[in-house]
Amino acid sequence: MTKTSKRGIEVLRDPGLNKSTAYTEAERQELGLIGLVPDVTETEDLQLQRVLTQLAHKNTDLDRYIYLINLLDHNETLFYRTVMSDPARFLPIVYDPTIGEACLKFGHIYRGPRGMYLSMTRRGKVKEVLENWPQKDVRFICVTDAGRILGLGDLGANGMGIPIGKLQLYTACAGVPPQYLLPMYLDAGTNNEQYLHDPLYLGMRRTRPSTEELYSFVDEFVEAVQAVFPKCCIHFEDWTGADAVHLLQRYRNKYCVYNDDVQGTAGIVLAGMINAAKVKGTKLSDEKYLFLGAGSAGIGLADLLCSAMVKDGLPLKKAQARVYMFDINGLLEDTRTGLLDFQKPYAHKHPPTRDFVAAIESIKPTTIIGVSTVGGTFNQRVVESMSRINEQPVIFALSNPTDHAECTADQAYTWSHGNAIYAAGVQFAPVHLKGRTFVPGQANNFYIFPAIGMAVFATVASRVTDEMFIEAARAVADQVPSELLKQGLLFPLQSNILEAEIQTAARVAKVIFDSGLARVERPSDMVAFIRRHVYRPEYPVLASPKDKAA
């Protein structure tokens, strides 16, 4: 039973204690609520009906987003009850793609504080700032400097919508209890001129500092987290490509950290690749991969893919030799100058080219992966070229939001005459072609990071490793039944996401125990262990009839 020392209006103003019209008579008497709420006792299901009715009157997904965030500010349980009642419907509203628009307008639609804003002017005082957070046992901080939000670029303080949304998915998708989650915006300024001149912009009005200055501030932040929240895992989100990779390298062997753009995206795309190979009857190491885009998502995926091939027995150099990359300046090859350290393993001996189709014709990849942020770059020539070379070309167009996808599902199936094995970073509707129906999968990392989060939460893991992401990818891939694979779907259905994530978290937890990274005792039944930690959107019992009698 949850008890509280709060009384009356204070109870109603606490989103974790607010039950709106669902208080029992005993609770009303015990907590001094009589007269402060309508004198009826409603069930959560009835309250959910009211929410759905009110949502039906909203005209746009952004209005629905604002409504739901407002609900969260007042009544956390009912918010999660709503989102978890129909994930396939609500995840696109509380997260991608609506979140992109919400971020663009964040300063304008802002209603009240959520999470923490830590600006560089607080240098030297970060520990004191963290101590202002009311919860003392924080297990996850999702932190962004908003250097690169989705495919939308530098959004400065408007990027705060992302850590807020990401952490909601820990709860909605995998059942991590919300009180342990802290969204954070690390304000290092912005180079976005529009926001610097917008009177409603909520961040520091200065351009971004040097990398050295930024990293020394991040060092102070990461160290302060260890002191204030010793069981906390730091989830880096939507930093620019180079910062994402470099900060991960800087902390991953020392602290409990991960970067979702690098590792989470890699995990879900790897799951798609495992299933694409299953459909073709091949192995990961039989395939040849060409990336369009060599930023944080591309490099993270290439590295994880190589680790997975190494785990399957291929030497690292041979695994890397199967991966090519092409970016805004053309193919990464061994004569190119100015490549970043982490891109060099994929710069193979090959004549320079700036023509992607020429690169396809020469390299003959079986799989192309779009992580370029540029919509339409997998044009008809690209898909036709892949189809000439491969019976079943694997085409992953992962950039988001929707108009940034390298090609749509319809284009991929039409131009390949229905032969493509396709996945996107956003949700596309089923495609009907020549009497067949194709169900395009969404390589959304929300199948991976909430499950990793749940496994880390339950085991109190001290590190997050690539092995955990590879196992998560395998677990996700294993949960797609063969009938759905035949229709082209490479990922589990969103409607059953909580159960899928529980199964994935259990497999990741096993890896955590096997690697000696857990800080709790090993349970005998891993799935039951995870289930014991799952948050359920049910109101706390705040008083029972007995309390009144006593």
Residue 301 interacting with ligand NAI (CB under 6 A): no
Q: From 362, 409, 414, select the one nearest 384 (Cα to Cα).
A: 414
Active-site pick, 23, 80, 166, 422? 166
**Residue 344 bears catalytic tag:** no
Q: Which stretch binds ligand NAI (CB under 6 A): 248-256, 290-298, 428-436, 461-469?
A: 290-298
Pick the binder of ligand NAI from 366, 400, 411, 479 (CB under 6 A).
Answer: 400
Active-site pick, 95, 185, 201, 422? 95
In three-state secondary structure terms, 7 is coil
For ligand NAI, the closer of residues 258 and 326 by Cβ is 326
The rounded distance, in Å, linking the Cα atoms of 500 and 473 is: 12
Residue 294 interacting with ligand NAI (CB under 6 A): yes
For ligand NAI, the closer of residues 92 and 537 by Cβ is 92
Least Cβ distance, residue 332 to ligand NAI (angstroms): 9
The rounded distance, in Å, linking the Cα atoms of 292 and 330 is: 9
The DSSP 8-state label assigned to residue 35 in this structure reads T
Instruction: Give the angle 110-115-118 at the CA atoms, nearest 5°.
Output: 100
Residue 298 interacting with ligand NAI (CB under 6 A): yes
Residue 404 interacting with ligand NAI (CB under 6 A): yes
Q: Which stretch binds ligand NAI (CB under 6 A): 136-144, 289-297, 471-479, 533-541?
A: 289-297
Q: From 505, 445, 435, 495, select the one nearest 472 (Cα to Cα).
A: 505
Q: Which stretch binds ligand NAI (CB under 6 A): 21-29, 36-44, 305-313, 326-334?
A: 326-334
Q: How many of the other CB atoms lie within 10 Å of CB of 428?
A: 22
* Cα 464 versus chain centre, distance: 15
Least Cβ distance, residue 143 to ligand NAI (angstroms): 16
The rounded distance, in Å, linking the Cα atoms of 448 and 454 is: 10
Pick the binder of ligand NAI from 77, 265, 367, 416 (CB under 6 A).
Answer: 265
Extract the tokens encoding 369: 């992966």
Pick the binder of ligand NAI from 107, 156, 293, 375 (CB under 6 A).
Answer: 293
Residue 476 interacting with ligand NAI (CB under 6 A): no
Listed in sequence order, the residues at least 6 apart from 325 whose beta carbon sits closer than 8 Å to its beta carbon are 290, 291, 293, 294, 298, 302, 331, 332, 343, 346, 347
Least Cβ distance, residue 160 to ligand NAI (angstroms): 18
Residue 492 interacting with ligand NAI (CB under 6 A): no
Torsion of CA 533, 538, 539, 540, to 10 degrees: -30
Residue 445 interacting with ligand NAI (CB under 6 A): yes
Least Cβ distance, residue 64 to ligand NAI (angstroms): 22
Residue 444 interacting with ligand NAI (CB under 6 A): yes
| Contact yes or no for 364/115 (Cβ under 8 A) | no
The rounded distance, in Å, linking the Cα atoms of 408 and 429 is: 10
For ligand NAI, the closer of residues 75 and 240 by Cβ is 240
Residue 103 interacting with ligand NAI (CB under 6 A): no
Q: Which stretch binds ligand NAI (CB under 6 A): 159-167, 286-294, 410-418, 522-530?
A: 286-294
Residue 327 interacting with ligand NAI (CB under 6 A): yes
Q: State residue 369 phi and psi, 5-degree precision.
A: -125, 120
Residue 235 interacting with ligand NAI (CB under 6 A): no
Q: State residue 313 phi and psi, 5-degree precision.
A: 110, 0
Least Cβ distance, residue 548 to ligand NAI (angstroms): 51
**For ligand NAI, which residue has the nearest CB?**
295
The rounded distance, in Å, linking the Cα atoms of 445 and 428 is: 16
**Residue 201 bears catalytic tag:** no
- b/e per residue, 394-411, with b = 16+ CB within 10 A? bbbbbbbbbebbbbbbbb
Residue 148 interacting with ligand NAI (CB under 6 A): yes
Pick the binder of ligand NAI from 292, 394, 452, 509 (CB under 6 A).
Answer: 292
The rounded distance, in Å, linking the Cα atoms of 289 and 277 is: 12
Q: State residue 258 phi and psi, 5-degree precision.
A: -155, 165
Residue 399 interacting with ligand NAI (CB under 6 A): yes
Least Cβ distance, residue 473 to ligand NAI (angstroms): 13
Between 415 and 434, how does the x/- string for binding to ligand NAI read (CB under 6 A)?
----------x---------
- b/e per residue, 253-269, with b = 16+ CB within 10 A? eebbbbbbbbbbbbbbb
| Contact yes or no for 403/376 (Cβ under 8 A) | no
CB-based burial label for 193 (10 Å; 0-12, 13-18, 19+): exposed
Between 44 and 83, how does the x/- string for binding to ligand NAI read (CB under 6 A)?
----------------------------------------
> Taking CB under 6 A as the criterion, which residues in 170-209 touch ligand NAI?
none
Binding site for ligand NAI (CB under 6 A): 148, 150-151, 241, 261, 265, 292-298, 326-328, 371-374, 377, 398-400, 404, 425, 443-445
Q: Annotated catalytic sites, by residue? A: 95, 166
